[in-house]
């Protein structure tokens, strides 16, 4: 799937780019949410690691577009949903599991989005899942909220909320998901939102969950793509990126990969990477590797700014200042106020 930066020349979207102040302050809410979730995870919740050794099958490549600079997610992909398929734009998020989109008739509240909202009545392959379905019982792990039951229709109801106050509530459903013209997922489980709110970037149709739970798109397509996915993000100057499902077996001599670790100990809600060292101008800094291992470093598609433990941050900061000592150091009063505010939030 193709990836284009939201504010680049290929986005097709007008409007001003967000300021650095807006990016940093909004970004902090997501980081705080991740930290809170990490602290509250039960060590007993360890039965959804996923089999990273699943069979290596085909590969599907989907375009993705850079979206809001903070909040729930940063990049979007366009997929087809239903029969016949209707285009839906979704933020993809490595820190979430359940995929959802706004649906008609939008019984309670919907926000404005760029493409038409999905109409279940127009799809010949759509149906709601019942309250006693296996998927309904798995919502607690995917969203932190157990499924509820609509007593009048016996339909399973889901709830998802996020650290920036975005949320979606609606019916748990199944339908055909079209990734490309030749890659289709039958019986894809997703949330059909009837009460939705997006704090930032309210022109997107919903969210694609790339997490590790059984209801994530990664787990649901594991038979086709072997529990593999990768992404390459675009630049602000307009170069394309991609979100790819499946293990790429082509010649990749010109690419460097960092493997995602699906768990740290018994924690399976996030993806981690192993940070070994930090260098400035080719010189490796004297930083203890243990600073990055408690737990390993979370990698998150929805977080903009990299955050480090204070000792790990101070070393590259000091090395950078030393390398730039030929230039005068100027303190921007507004920047100082911003970073003081961020320090208070942290």
Alpha carbon separation from 131 to 102, 169, 173 (Å, rounded): 21, 15, 11
Residue spans of beta strands (DSSP E) within 107-212: 127-128, 148-150, 155-161, 167-180, 183-197, 206-209
Active-site position among 27, 93, 164, 296: 93
Q: Tell me, what's the pLDDT at 276?
A: 87
Q: Which of 192, 210, 231 is nearest to 65 (CA)?
A: 231
What's the pTM?
0.81
Structural domains in the chain plus CATH codes? 2-245 (2.40.70.10)
d(CA 99, CA 96): 8
Q: Tell me, what's the pLDDT at 54?
A: 30
Crossing angle, helix 20-40 and helix 333-345, to 10 degrees?
10
Is-contact 296 264, C-beta < 8 A? yes
Give yes or no: 240 in active site: no
Q: Tell me, what's the pLDDT at 267?
A: 59
Q: Tell me, what's the pLDDT at 77?
A: 86
Question: Which residues pair with residue 207 across a beta bridge?
Answer: 91, 100
Q: Tell me, what's the pLDDT at 132?
A: 96
- The pLDDT tens digits for 189-234 are 999 999 999 876 567 899 999 998 999 999 999 999 998 888 888 7
| DSSP helix/strand/coil, 282 | coil
Give yes or no: 318 in active site: no
Q: Tell me, what's the pLDDT at 152?
A: 92
Low-confidence ranges of the chain (pLDDT < 70): 3-20, 23, 39-73, 200-202, 235-239, 249-253, 262-268, 294-295, 333-346
Q: Tell me, what's the pLDDT at 212?
A: 87
Please give the biggest Cα pair distance in the chain: 73
Active-site position among 61, 202, 240, 300: 300
């Amino acid at each position: 799937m193709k990836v284009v930066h939201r504010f680049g020349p290929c986005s097709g979207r007008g409007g001003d780019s967000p300021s650095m102040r807006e990016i940093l302050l909004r970004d902090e809410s997501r980081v705080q949410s991740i930290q809170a979730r990490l602290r509250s995870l039960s060590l007993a919740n360890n039965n959804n690691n996923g089999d990273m050794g699943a069979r290596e099958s085909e590969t599907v490549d989907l375009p993705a577009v850079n979206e809001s600079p903070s909040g729930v997610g940063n990049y979007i992909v366009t997929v087809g949903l239903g029969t016949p398929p209707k285009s839906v734009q979704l933020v993809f998020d490595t820190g979430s599991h359940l995929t959802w989109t706004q649906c008609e008739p939008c019984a309670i509240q919907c926000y404005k989005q760029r493409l038409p909202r999905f109409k279940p009545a127009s799809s010949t392959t759509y149906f709601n899942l019942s309250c006693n379905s296996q998927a309904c019982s798995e919502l607690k792990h995917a969203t932190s909220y157990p499924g509820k039951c609509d007593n009048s229709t016996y339909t399973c109801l889901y709830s998802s909320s996020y650290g920036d106050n975005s949320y979606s509530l609606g019916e748990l459903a199944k339908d055909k998901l079209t990734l490309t013209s030749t890659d289709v997922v039958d019986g894809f489980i997703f949330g059909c939102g009837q009460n939705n709110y997006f704090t930032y970037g309210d022109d997107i149709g919903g969210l694609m969950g790339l997490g590790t739970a059984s209801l994530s798109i990664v787990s649901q397509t594991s038979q086709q793509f072997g529990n593999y996915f990768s992404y390459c993000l675009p630049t602000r100057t307009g170069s394309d990126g991609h979100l790819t499902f499946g293990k790429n077996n082509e010649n990749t001599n010109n690419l460097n990969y960092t493997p995602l670790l699906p768990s740290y100990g018994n924690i399976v809600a996030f993806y981690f990477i192993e940070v070994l060292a930090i260098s400035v101008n080719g010189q490796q800094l004297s930083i203890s590797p243990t600073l990055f291992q408690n737990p390993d470093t979370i990698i998150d598609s929805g977080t903009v700014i990299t955050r480090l433990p204070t000792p790990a941050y101070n070393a590259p900061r000091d090395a950078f200042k030393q390398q730039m000592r030929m230039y005068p150091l100027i303190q921007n009063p507004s920047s100082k106020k911003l970073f003081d505010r961020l320090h208070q939030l942290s």
